[in-house]
Amino acid sequence: MSARRPVFLGHTAAPSGAELAFARLAGELRHRGVPASVVLLAPGPLTEVLAAADVPVTVVPGRPSAVRRDAGPLAVLRGAIGLYRTGRRLAPMLLAQDADVVVAESTKSLFVGAVASRRTGIPLVWQVHDRVSAEYFGRKRFPLRLLGRVAASGYLANSRGTLRTISTGGSPTAVCHPGVDLATVPAPEPQRAPKNVQIAMIGRITPWKGQDLLLRALAQMEAEPRVRFVGGAHFDGDDAYLAELEELARRLGIAERVTFTGHVTDPLTEAADADIVVHYSRLTEPFGQVVAEAMAAGRVVVAARAGGPTELIVDRENGVLVPPRRPDLLAVALDSLIADWELREQLSAAARDRGRDLDLKTSAAIADSLLARVARDVR
Ligand code: GLC
């Protein structure tokens, strides 16, 4: 049985990880014949991504007020009132679209979706992309878990680790890894010889993604690979971090080997061009789509041993895991990997095998059956 009319609810139209993941999922559900659509709380570049995938998208009128994660109680209250009003405006839109389940894609859309779900009786599923842990949410994790527990009738988590950070009260849950569209993955090139190895780090430029840690590792290595940092500085304060990274590269004397590409529309091509893809987030990565994509493209991924990547990589079998926040150990791991061409070839073939399980079609099948179950159970 399939879901009939899921509506995915996103709060932002910035094309970052969670947004790209649900846009892809909605597109794939439509391929399966499920008429999924998207409602956003703000217009932006994601609308084009959705249009290209033939996913209908509408924007809730009015601007929801911005609530920063570090806001004080008054600002939070004001923000909550704004979100409540947005939820009331959303309700008739869901009814008009004949939605049978609404899927909240972020904490803000969970709140807005909860209000609309109450008013319409349309059940809500929380698709969880963030770890609801102290690291990310501090003390706010408690009210957020409670809201998720009360408002949602089902949960999709991007990894087993993410699922463990929420409270589901026995409602239907599924681990639904964000899938890779295998049709778009290029065939892998052979690994380059040690002296020509190229490394890529892909992800938005922001302190928690740990670009500075890789720069520090590079400065301690024997090998002198060229490295591309692929990703834009999209949000507040990230520009300053980019300037710091450029300065750090100069100070460490490695600036001529390091390139910052800015935002690219096709990061998969960048991954495929590299021999090694490093993913070294400072915080526990909830899933890490870059890791999945790079593996599917048969690249050797070196990742921090924490969160989502540990569910994809088996150390020295299909990739390499390094303790987090240890540039010295990252340097050692990269040096030994670069020197060993045969190992790189083996890891790359095994990574490609693992990547096949991460097919977007599989993710869509998992999401479809969970959504159908919730739509059916509640109504
Ligand atoms: C969020 C998470 C990231 C995950 C993505 C898709 O951006 O931080 O780890 O890959 O959502 O679920």
- With a cut of 80, say whether residue 284 has pLDDT above it: yes
- With a cut of 90, say whether residue 61 has pLDDT above it: no
Distance 21 CA to ligand 1 centre (A): 8
Residue 37 to residue 29: CA distance in whole angstroms? 10
The pLDDT value given to residue 15: 76
Nearest-CA residue for atom 10 of ligand 1: 288
Distance 371 CA to ligand 1 centre (A): 20
Q: How far is CA 367 from CA 148, 217, 280, 340, in A?
A: 18, 39, 28, 40
Q: Cβ(348) to ligand 1 under 6 A? A: no
pLDDT in tens, 320-378: 999 999 999 999 999 999 999 999 999 999 999 999 999 999 999 999 999 999 997 65
| 236-240, 303-307, 334-338: least confident range | 236-240
Residue 292 to residue 197: CA distance in whole angstroms? 21
- With a cut of 70, say whether residue 65 has pLDDT above it: no
Contact partners, residue 368, CB within 8 Å, separation at least 6: 2, 3, 29, 32, 34
Output b/e per residue, 100-133; b: 16+ Cβ within 10 A: bbbbbbbbbbbbbbbbbbeebebbbbbbbbbbbb
Q: Cβ(129) to ligand 1 under 6 A? A: yes
Pocket test for ligand 1, best of 287, 295, 301, 363 (most atoms within 8 A of CB): 287
| 53-57, 76-80, 128-132: least confident range | 76-80
Element (H, E) at 174: strand 173-175
Instruction: Please tell me what DSSP assigns to residue 282.
Output: S
Q: Cβ(286) to ligand 1 under 6 A? A: yes
Residue that wins the pLDDT comparison between 294 and 66: 294
pLDDT in tens, 146-181: 999 999 999 999 999 999 999 999 999 999 999 999
The pLDDT value given to residue 234: 78
| 2-16, 58-72, 137-151, 302-316: least confident range | 58-72
Nearest-CA residue for atom 6 of ligand 1: 18
Q: How far is CA 203 from CA 48, 116, 219, 323, in A?
A: 20, 33, 21, 19
Distance 181 CA to ligand 1 centre (A): 16
Q: Strands 124-128, 101-104: parallel, antiparallel or unpaired by DSSP?
A: parallel
Q: Cβ(287) to ligand 1 under 6 A? A: yes
Contact partners, residue 48, CB within 8 Å, separation at least 6: none
Residue 134 near residue 109, CB atoms below 8 Å: no
Q: What number is the average pLDDT over the span 54-73?
A: 78
Distance 256 CA to ligand 1 centre (A): 31
The pLDDT value given to residue 3: 67
Distance 281 CA to ligand 1 centre (A): 12
Q: Cβ(203) to ligand 1 under 6 A? A: no
Q: What number is the average pLDDT over the span 136-143?
A: 94
- With a cut of 70, say whether residue 285 has pLDDT above it: yes
Residue 81 to residue 14: CA distance in whole angstroms? 23
Q: Which residue has the tokens 């993604």?
A: 209
Q: What number is the average pLDDT over the span 236-258?
A: 95
Q: What number is the average pLDDT over the span 95-116?
A: 96
Q: Cβ(209) to ligand 1 under 6 A? A: no
Work out the mean pLDDT of the chain and round it to a whole number.
Answer: 94
Name the pTM for this structure.
0.93
Residue 138 near residue 120, CB atoms below 8 Å: no
- Ligand 1 atom nearest to CA at 307: 9
The pLDDT value given to residue 378: 54
Pocket test for ligand 1, best of 289, 358, 366 (most atoms within 8 A of CB): 289
Distance 133 CA to ligand 1 centre (A): 14
Q: Cβ(137) to ligand 1 under 6 A? A: no
pLDDT in tens, 7-22: 999 987 777 889 999 9
Residue 172 to residue 159: CA distance in whole angstroms? 15
- With a cut of 90, say whether residue 290 has pLDDT above it: yes
Helix%, strand%, coil% for the chain, nearest 5? 50, 15, 35
Q: Cβ(288) to ligand 1 under 6 A? A: yes
Distance 96 CA to ligand 1 centre (A): 31
Amino acid, res. 149? R
R_g of the chain, CA atoms, integer Å: 21
Residue that wins the pLDDT comparison between 61 and 249: 249
Question: What is the token pair recorded at 200?
Answer: 């890529």
- Which of 69, 78, 134 has the alpha carbon at shortest distance from 107? 69
